[in-house]
Amino acid sequence: MFRIGIDIGGTFTDCVVFNTNEQTLKRYKTPSIPRNYSKGVIKALKLASEDHNLTLQQFLKQTEIIMHGTTIATNLILSRDGKDVGLITTKGFRDIIEQWWKEERRYDMLYPPPTPPCPRRYRLEVDERIDFSGKIIKIINEDDVERAIKFFKQYDLNSIAVSLIFSPINPIHEKKIAELFQSKYPEANIHISSEILPQLREYERTMATVLNAYVAPYSSKYLRELGDQLKQNGYEKKLLIMQSNSGVASIKTISKIPIRLALSGPSSGPLAGLFFSDLTGEPNIITIDMGGTSFDVCLIKERIIPTATDGYIGRYRLALPTVDIHSLGAGGGSIAWVDQGDLLRVGPRSAGAIPGPVCYGQGGIEPTVTDANLLLGYINPDNFLGGRMKLNSELARNAILEKIAEKLNIDLIDAALGIIRVVNNNMIDGINTVSVKRGYNPKDFTLVAAGGAGPVHAAKLAKIADISKIIIPRTASAFCAFGMVISNIRHDYVRPYISPIRQADLKNINDHFNKMEIEGQYTLTLEGVENADIKYTWSMDMRYIGQIYEEQTPIPREYLSESNINVIEELFNKKHENIYGYRDKDSDIEVVHLRVKAEGKRDKVKFSELDQSSIIPPTEALKESRKALFEEMGKFIDTNIYDGSALLPGNIITGPAIIEEVDTTIVIIPDSECSIDKFNNYIINLNKNLKESG
């Protein structure tokens, strides 16, 4: 039987197939098909079925489960290609979604906020009011709701967000609006904030609800079409969708709250990183995933994947639980350009899948990182995607010459090298963001490098960051797809509860935790999880009284009583001290939200240990020699090129050298060596004591 993970990226669609009987793993990569992503998924599955000498129908009938990550919600929000949605909110709060924007330019007073995802003309108010305790101060004016229904009908708006003040405390008015729409305008899809994100802070809750309404029509259509296509081709089991919280969920669950698809693909990368850190005994890692469009980096300390509830998508704040990944526009397809000050820039724009880098020969005219890597000798033009795609070096050369070298009045090779230096510096900034800027020294971590382009740059990035060890899994180019294969089914629940912890009604808190667990159990059971496989994790959002923001703090899963309040307070004090460097002994601690994470554990993927005593030397895998530029040596040198598929556990290759896999290339810089471990991973060790030559 097969277990499959499929990740749609901006440039390529990755597919990982794990054979549960033979404990073997295979990976496949095919260009993404923008605006018809489901077709790209079927294309990747056909590629996998052919490799297994099966028809697609035979292959899917032998598949026990498919996990899928998609960028459809993210791309829709970033591109603003969707249709307008409506918003109903409490009288006086019509402009609530214009309250906040990310401070990209803190001191630029003229820098405009982002355009709201819902135009002001489609934001309507209703006269009603509920206070912070849930008490109804003013009963809802149903005439206002009737007028809103007529208005939205008139403008053919049928995806409507509803976000009223303090609705998470008492959702009665939001539910009344939904009932009225159901009876008067049943064609409309109503998204109420008390179900989408039942927590306090009206901006974040309203924004999440509006974005949910914005992506819902397209996400639902895509998932429905994909499900139908899979069924037509013989797949009869579950299709699970990757969420931003690093867990998967059923289509039925995701269709209700599709905004959980935002950051769907990248969130599984740290799961894969953690898997390989366990294999190699490295509890502290930094994962990097450099694909065609973006560079995603995450720091994992002591095997704990960091999560956040204050992320962003584009310039919109997204308060849903997400894996704490820092992303930037630095991929193989990132476009190099010269700004008005004659400075070389790389990204954030990308050539994407179509037209792609210039060397793809698909009409691209803007030079990219891939074009520069090709000219510097790192990439084999005849072995891209295992030879299924031929790269045109002459097109890449002309594009870099015209767009970069001539504009800057520099040599062609200097221009290509400059592109690589700039993108590397951009990625180092990303690594520093999750490490140095948070009080961690990168040299205390192992780098796990992934993505089709990641292994090309990994050794250089590690050297700059003073990291001495790199793990490059064989599945590096399909890293996130593999993360989906090993992911658990997961749902997150939150309830607002504001009170100093010493004055809290502990019975009420325990009731909230119990109800969230029951809700999680119900959903997971519908998704086929047995009770014995469900794990619950509790946490509280807490702060010192007087603070504006709170910290999510995991707590023991045991009913609260006077006897364990001290333990919870100490957990918060310790976390606050770790983050901010101090604890406030004189301040009382206040609870803001209660949270439950419900996970459905699935069978683990296990890799067999391989024999490392092979007497076959790595020279048997030597393909050819090619000139490649290494800055450490200051020139192009004849570089040994190895066939990765022929390398065996126990083989050691000394740099400078290049290893070619079907779907990625590993560059081994001078003063480093690469070994193949017992799990068939590439392990690169950098010798920091040797000085660079040249």
- Classify residue 399: in a domain, yes or no: no
CATH number for the domain harbouring residue 253: 3.30.420.40
Label residue 690 by pLDDT band (50, 70, 90).
Answer: very low
Q: Mark whether 17 and 103 lie in a shared domain.
A: no
Residue 438's pLDDT is 87
Beta bridge partners of 643: 660
Q: Mark whether 561 and 681 lie in a shared domain.
A: no
How many angstroms separate the CA atoms of 143 and 126, rounded? 9
Q: pLDDT, tens digit, for every residue of 381-395?
A: 998 877 788 999 999
For the sheet with 189-192, list strands across it. 123-126, 86-90, 159-163, 189-192
How many angstroms separate the CA atoms of 416 and 365, rounded? 15
Which structure tokens are listed for 85?
Answer: 């949605």
Which structure tokens are listed for 319?
Answer: 């308060």
Q: What is the residue range of 541's domain?
A: 489-600
What's the average model confidence in pLDDT over 336-354?
A: 90
- What is the CB neighbour count within 10 angstroms for residue 155? 11
How many angstroms separate the CA atoms of 69 and 481, rounded? 8
What's the average model confidence in pLDDT over 429-447?
A: 93
Label residue 30 by pLDDT band (50, 70, 90).
Answer: confident
Beta bridge partners of 642: 622, 659
Q: Is the pLDDT of residue 120 over 90?
A: yes
Which structure tokens are listed for 585?
Answer: 């002994």
- Classify residue 313: in a domain, yes or no: no
How many angstroms separate the CA atoms of 42 and 122, rounded? 38
Which residue from 560, 577, 580, 576 is spatially nearest to 568, judged by alpha carbons?
Answer: 560
Q: pLDDT, tens digit, for every residue of 131-169?
A: 999 999 999 999 999 999 999 999 999 999 999 999 999
Q: Mark whether 502 and 584 lie in a shared domain.
A: yes
Q: 155's torsion region: left (phi>0), alpha (psi -120 to 50) or beta?
A: alpha
Which structure tokens are listed for 325?
Answer: 């990944």
CATH number for the domain harbouring residue 104: 3.40.50
Q: Mark whether 110 and 137 lie in a shared domain.
A: yes
What's the average model confidence in pLDDT over 245-266?
A: 89
What is the signed CA dihedral for 310, 312, 313, 318, rounded to 10 degrees? 30
Is-contact 17 23, C-beta < 8 A? Answer: no
Q: Mark whether 70 and 88 lie in a shared domain.
A: no
- Classify residue 9: in a domain, yes or no: yes
Task: Among 211, 245, 273, give the residue marking a domain's end.
Answer: 211
Task: Among 193, 211, 229, give the residue marking a domain's end.
Answer: 211
- Classify residue 632: in a domain, yes or no: yes
Q: pLDDT, tens digit, for every residue of 585-636?
A: 889 999 999 999 999 998 888 888 888 877 788 999 999 999 999 998 889 9
What's the average model confidence in pLDDT over 653-666?
A: 94
Q: Report, in angstroms and rounded to the nearest whole number, the Rg of the chain calculated over CA atoms.
A: 26
Label residue 22 by pLDDT band (50, 70, 90).
Answer: confident
Q: Is the pLDDT of residue 28 over 50?
A: yes
Residue 517 C-beta-side C-alpha neighbours within 13 Å: 16
- Classify residue 579: in a domain, yes or no: yes
Which residues lie closer than 8 Å to 94 by C-beta, 6 or more apart?
A: 120, 123, 124, 125
Q: Mark whether 138 and 237 lie in a shared domain.
A: no
- Classify residue 238: in a domain, yes or no: yes
Label residue 100 by pLDDT band (50, 70, 90).
Answer: low
Backbone phi and psi for residue 26, each to the nearest 5 degrees, phi listed first: -130, 155
Label residue 102 by pLDDT band (50, 70, 90).
Answer: low
Residue 665's pLDDT is 95
Strand, coil or helix: what is 439?
A: coil
Is-contact 292 353, C-beta < 8 A? Answer: yes
Average pLDDT, the chain: 91
Residue 302 C-beta-side C-alpha neighbours within 13 Å: 1
Residue 101's pLDDT is 60
Q: Mark whether 594 and 652 lie in a shared domain.
A: no
- Classify residue 24: in a domain, yes or no: yes
Higher-scoring residue by pLDDT: 433, 113: 433
Q: Mark whether 544 and 584 lie in a shared domain.
A: yes
How many angstroms separate the CA atoms of 496 and 275, rounded? 34
Structural domain tally of the chain?
A: 4
How many angstroms separate the CA atoms of 3 and 5, rounded? 7
CA of residue 687 relative to chain centroid, distance: 32
Strand, coil or helix: what is 465?
A: helix
For the sheet with 326-328, list strands across it. 326-328, 295-300, 285-290, 446-450, 469-472, 682-686, 672-676, 652-654
Label residue 400 by pLDDT band (50, 70, 90).
Answer: very high
Q: Which residue's structure tokens are 């499959």? A: 4
- Classify residue 524: in a domain, yes or no: yes
Which residues lie closer than 8 Å to 341 by C-beta, 6 or more apart?
A: none
Task: Among 261, 291, 321, give the residue marking a domain's end.
Answer: 261
Higher-scoring residue by pLDDT: 110, 237: 237
- Amino acid 297 reads V
What DSSP string describes 624-666? EEEEEEEGGGTEEEEEEEEEGGG--TT-EEESSEEEE-SS-EE
β-pairing, 489-500 vs 589-600, is: antiparallel
- Amino acid 198 reads P
Q: pLDDT, tens digit, for every residue of 57-94?
A: 999 999 999 999 987 888 788 777 789 999 999 999 99
Q: Mark whether 63 and 178 lie in a shared domain.
A: no
Q: Mark whether 134 and 62 lie in a shared domain.
A: no
Residue 556's pLDDT is 95
Residue 72's pLDDT is 81
Q: For the chain, how many residues are written?
A: 694
Q: Mark whether 516 and 579 lie in a shared domain.
A: yes
Higher-scoring residue by pLDDT: 544, 291: 544
Q: Mark whether 61 and 93 lie in a shared domain.
A: no
